[in-house]
Chains A and B, each alone.
Chain A
Amino acid sequence: MVHFTAEEKSAVTSLWGKVNVEEAGGEALGRLLVVYPWTQRFFDTFGNLSSASAIMGNPKVKAHGKKVLTSFGDAVKNMDNLKNAFAKLSELHCDKLHVDPENFRLLGNVLVIILASHFGKEFTPDTQAAWQKLVSGVANALSHKYH
Chain B
Amino acid sequence: MVHLTADETALVTGLWAKVNVKEYGGEALGRLLVVYPWTQRFFEHFGDLSSASAVMHNPKVKAHGEKVLASFGDGLKHLDDLKGAFAELSALHCEKLHVDPQNFKLLGNMLVCVLSRHLGKEFSPQAQAAYEKVVAGVANALAHKYH
Q: What range describes how many residues of A lie at the interface?
A: 20 to 34
**In the bound complex, do residue B128 and residue A128 qualify as a contact, i.e. CB atoms below 8 Å apart?**
no
**In the bound complex, do residue B123 and residue A132 qualify as a contact, i.e. CB atoms below 8 Å apart?**
no
Chain A 121-141: CB-based contact to B (< 8 A → 1; otherwise 0): 001111011001000000000
Interface size on B, residues (CB 8 A): 24
Q: Is B41 an interface residue (CB 8 A)?
A: no
B123's nearest neighbour on chain A, judged by CB, is A117
Secondary structure call for the B interface? helix
**In the bound complex, do residue A126 and residue B34 qualify as a contact, i.e. CB atoms below 8 Å apart?**
yes
Interface residue from B35, B56, B113 paired with A113 (Cβ < 8 Å): B113
Interface residues of A in 25-84 (CB under 8 A from B): 30-31, 34-35, 52, 55-56
Known: A31-B125, A35-B132. A116 touches B116 (CB 8 A): yes
Q: Is A120 an interface residue (CB 8 A)?
A: yes
B51's nearest neighbour on chain A, judged by CB, is A126
Would you give the shortest CB distance from A74 to chain B, in whole angstroms? 24
CA–CA, A56 to B52, complex, Å?
35
Would you give the shortest CB distance from B45 to chain A, in whole angstroms? 21
Chain A 74-114: CB-based contact to B (< 8 A → 1; otherwise 0): 00000000000000000000000000000000000100111
**In the bound complex, do residue B34 and residue A34 qualify as a contact, i.e. CB atoms below 8 Å apart?**
no
**In the bound complex, do residue A125 and residue B55 qualify as a contact, i.e. CB atoms below 8 Å apart?**
yes
Q: What are 14 A-B contacts with C-beta separation under 8 Å?
A: A31-B125, A31-B128, A34-B129, A35-B128, A35-B129, A52-B124, A52-B126, A52-B129, A109-B109, A114-B116, A116-B114, A129-B35, A129-B52, A132-B35
10 closest A-B pairs by beta carbon, nearest first, are A116-B117, A125-B34, A34-B125, A117-B116, A35-B129, A116-B116, A129-B35, A126-B52, A125-B52, A113-B116
Identify the A interface with B (CB < 8 A): 30-31, 34-35, 52, 55-56, 109, 112-114, 116-120, 123-126, 128-129, 132
